[in-house]
Structure 1
């Protein structure tokens, strides 16, 4: 992997922390169309080696009612 590709991968992750490895790879091909093809596992190994403080979280839409007063009261009542 060239230095330009490394910097581009890090820029993609910084710009889009919610991207999957496949999405990072696709974006890499868009940004550097003439660069050689790399696998998603190569990108994974690169990120593991360079950024040891990456935290993976599952992103999901939370309904507004999740932390509403009525809902939290019902949860507390159920727990007791």
Structure 2
């Protein structure tokens, strides 16, 4: 069997993050002012451990979304 085909089948079985939802979440923080409550929530989610957000569970998505929001906030601070 073709190795590329096998590789694609391998990736089909892996869970994938919903990038559209994560992007929408991050865009909610696009304004120039982020409240302290929102900032603390993002930091809490970014700092979750694997015990708090086990791999291949929905909880794993929270740090992923928070990291995207943190990146967008950082970019907005620069520009």
What TM-score does the superposition give when structure 2 sets the normalisation length? 0.30
Give the TM-score, by structure 1 length. 0.30
- Name which structure has the greater RCO, CA cutoff 8 Å, separation 6+: 2
- Larger radius of gyration between Structure 1 and Structure 2: 1
